[in-house]
């Protein structure tokens, strides 16, 4: 299974960090290399799973921050 895991370039590709030319190179490779494409798909699915853990703070906490900022503006 290790062989289908993303290499470092693929990681940068799925996180949109590669320069355009290198993006094209990866995309060409994905077309011709099913194993690489599978690794890419696995990584995108993993991203989606990790995205599901995203959480939000309480409204009370957000309001407290806004209140602090408003008071800071007045006292500054």
Partner 1 sequence: METLQPSDSALISLYIAGKEEAFAHLLERHKARVFTTIMLIVRDEDVADDLLQDTFIKAIHTMKSGRYNEEGKFSSWICRIAHNLAIDFFRREKRSPLLNLDTTSHAFNSLSHAEEGVESALTREETYAQLRELIQDLPTAQKEVLIMRHYGDMSFQEIADATGVSINTALGRMRYALINLRKKMAVQPIPYDQNLTQREPAPVRVQRIAS
Question: Which positions touch partner 1 (CB under 8 A)?
Answer: 1-2, 4-8, 11-12, 15, 17, 30, 34-35, 37-38, 40-58, 60-62, 64-66, 68-70, 72-73, 76
Quote the least distance from Cβ 63 to partner 1, whole Å.
10
- Output 21 or 59, the one with its CB closest to partner 1: 59
Task: Compute how many other C-beta atoms are within 10 angstroms of the C-beta atom of residue 6.
Answer: 17
User: Shortest Cβ distance from residue 25 to partner 1 (Å)?
Assistant: 16
Instruction: Extract the tokens encoding 74.
Output: 């007045």
Three-state DSSP class for 67?
Answer: helix
d(CA 30, CA 60): 47
């Amino acid at each position: 299974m290790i062989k289908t895991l993303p290499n470092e370039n693929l990681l940068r590709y799925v996180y949109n960090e590669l320069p355009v030319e290198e993006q094209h190179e990866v995309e060409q490779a994905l077309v011709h290399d099913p194993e690489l494409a599978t690794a890419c798909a696995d990584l995108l699915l993993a991203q989606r799973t990790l995205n599901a853990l995203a959480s939000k703070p309480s409204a009370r906490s957000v309001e407290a921050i806004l209140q602090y900022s408003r008071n800071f503006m007045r006292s500054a």
